[in-house]
Amino acid sequence: MTLLLDNDELGPLIDAREFVEAEDAAYRAFAAGQGVCTPRIDLQSAPGANGANYQLGLALGMAGNYAALRIKSDMVFRRFVDGRPRKEKFCVEPGTYMGLVLVFDRASGELVAILHDGLLQKMRVGADSALGARYMSRPGSSVLAILGSGGMARAHVDTMRAVRPISSVRVFSPTAANREAFAREIMERHGIVAVAVDDPDEACRGADIVASCASAIGPVIFGRQLAPGMHVTCIGGTLDPEANARVDVALRFGLAPAPAELPDLVFTEECLTYAEAGGKAAHGGTRRYADVPAERRISFAELLADPARGRISDRQISFSERGNIHGLQFAAVCGRLVEKARAAGIGQTLDSALFLQSIRN
């Protein structure tokens, strides 16, 4: 049988600590040569009359017993907030979105589940950032600065608390009502100090970990905000040149392998965009969140082989990022969710035969 699981059914199954451990195991296996994925791929149309581009986003990967295909269908456009450009999206109409993960059994090829991605994809990103903190931040890091106040920001608080003793959160986002509501929610949910501040510099001041979860286009983390001992992660916006220059060591968890037919073809970009005539839109996928000098970058495999390649001083500024292994994350966490849903008897069941055919493809 094939399970169909929506966000309401998935919500109770999603656990921040489990996501962190599932991705940790998948990353370790990947570093040892197990599992495979492609870079994220976006197909983007030329802009329509309303200035929006249609974008079909794909992430593919295999980890453990499962393979996953994540599909997003979006209208993407740029909007300005307080003079800063932001990436926005919708499917069909503003406020509705299309994101599905198809999960396959590697032993038989069966489509075992179709999952809405809204909640799980935020937590899988937060889990990656938390693993960066696990391996690169100072162990006693307790003050977290968050730039952004949406679902990604919430997931980052959840996952960071799974790896570090976070006792204080400072949040900045452009809309005062949003950041204030976020701070109240964090205090109620976690019983820790959470403060909304009026500018990002104030949020970063005195922080042990800084996480950008903004929807901004362009730099959001600046060199002036960094202080000795900080750990930084960025999944929205980018680091500015000064911030890149100040990072002492940057961890990248993975790089999608070259195609078997083209073994010398290596992609380091976060996302590969294939666009219609007119070129890639500024609100397309991010090439990279940081450009730390090459001599200061390490891979997860290198860190596992020699921990001295990572943080060796409490005064170092560290950075971490996923790389282009989105598909590996989806296979790791969605396989776990399918197993939990089966055990709990949750989800709509569809006859797997609906997705099979007698004509050879």
Res 282: pLDDT? 62
Q: pLDDT tens digits, residue range 324-350? A: 999 999 999 999 999 999 999 999 999
Q: Are residues 61 and 32 in the same domain?
A: yes
Q: Are residues 102 and 212 in the same domain?
A: no
Residue in this structure with the two tokens 């162990």, named with its chain if needed:
139
- Asked if residue 310 lies in contact with residue 296, where contact means CB atoms within 8 angstroms, the answer is no
Q: How far is CA 300 from CA 13, 19, 50, 135, 318, in A?
A: 28, 18, 43, 9, 14
Number of domains in the chain: 2
Q: Which of 230, 270, 231 is nearest to 254 (CA)?
A: 270
Res 78: pLDDT? 77
End-to-end CA distance of the chain: 21
Q: Are residues 307 and 176 in the same domain?
A: yes
Tell me, yes or no, whether 106 lies in a domain. yes
pTM above 0.85, yes or no: yes
Regions in the chain scoring below 70 on pLDDT: 81-83, 278-279, 282-287
Tell me, yes or no, whether 214 lies in a domain. yes
Q: Are residues 155 and 212 in the same domain?
A: yes
Tell me, yes or no, whether 292 lies in a domain. yes
**Packing angle, helices 118-136 and 16-31, rounded to 10:** 70
Q: Are residues 156 and 218 in the same domain?
A: yes
Q: Are residues 312 and 332 in the same domain?
A: no
CATH number for the domain harbouring residue 110: 3.30.1780.10
- Residues 276-301 as b/e (b if ≥16 CB within 10 A, e otherwise) read eeeebbebbbbebbbbbeeeebbbbb
Tell me, yes or no, whether 259 lies in a domain. no
Q: Which of 176, 136, 173 is nearest to 151 (CA)?
A: 173
**Residue-number span of the structural domain to which 99 is assigned:** 2-120+327-355
d(CA 152, CA 110): 31
Q: Are residues 148 and 86 in the same domain?
A: no
3-state secondary structure at position 149 = coil
CATH number for the domain harbouring residue 241: 3.40.50.720
Q: Are residues 38 and 159 in the same domain?
A: no
Q: Are residues 95 and 138 in the same domain?
A: no
d(CA 350, CA 114): 10
Res 50: pLDDT? 78
Q: Are residues 44 and 182 in the same domain?
A: no
Tell me, yes or no, whether 301 lies in a domain. yes
Q: How far is CA 145 from CA 119, 153, 171, 209, 225, in A?
A: 22, 10, 6, 6, 11
Tell me, yes or no, whether 261 lies in a domain. no
Q: Are residues 10 and 51 in the same domain?
A: yes
Q: What is the average pLDDT score of the chain? A: 93
Q: Are residues 190 and 89 in the same domain?
A: no
Q: pLDDT tens digits, residue range 284-333? A: 556 678 889 999 999 999 999 999 999 999 999 999 998 899 999 999 99
Tell me, yes or no, whether 265 lies in a domain. no
